[in-house]
Amino acid sequence: MAARDRFSKKLTCPQCGNMGFAEASEDDHSSRPHPAFAVDRMPRGFFPQRASNFQETYIIRCECGRKFPFRSRSEAQN
């Protein structure tokens, strides 16, 4: 069993400015081919649009309709 790394991340909608903290987890080693990323709790006003093993391709939908990845590729890791 791989250890799970749990963390929270501030999500900000680039369209309407809605903001909240998501609680997420993934397997401890981010270099794994399948980190099994999961959002454990979504902040109010945000919804999972498309689940993915990876933060960069996990798509969040804001209540305003804007969709964006959990973590952008240009964003520094933590």
Note whether 57 binds Zn ion by CB under 5 A: no
* Residue 60 sits in the site that holds Zn ion (CB under 5 A): no
Q: Does 64 bind Zn ion (CB under 5 A)?
A: yes
Q: How far is CA 40 from CA 22, 28, 58, 74, in A?
A: 8, 15, 13, 23
Residue 49, token pair as written in the block: 């649009």
Q: Does 2 engage in binding with Zn ion (CB under 5 A)?
A: no
The interface region with Zn ion, picked from 5-13, 24-32, 53-61, 68-76 by CB under 5 A, is: 5-13
Query: Does the protein bind Zn ion through residue 15 (CB under 5 A)?
Result: yes
Q: Which of 76, 44, 39, 50 is nearest to 63 (CA)?
A: 44
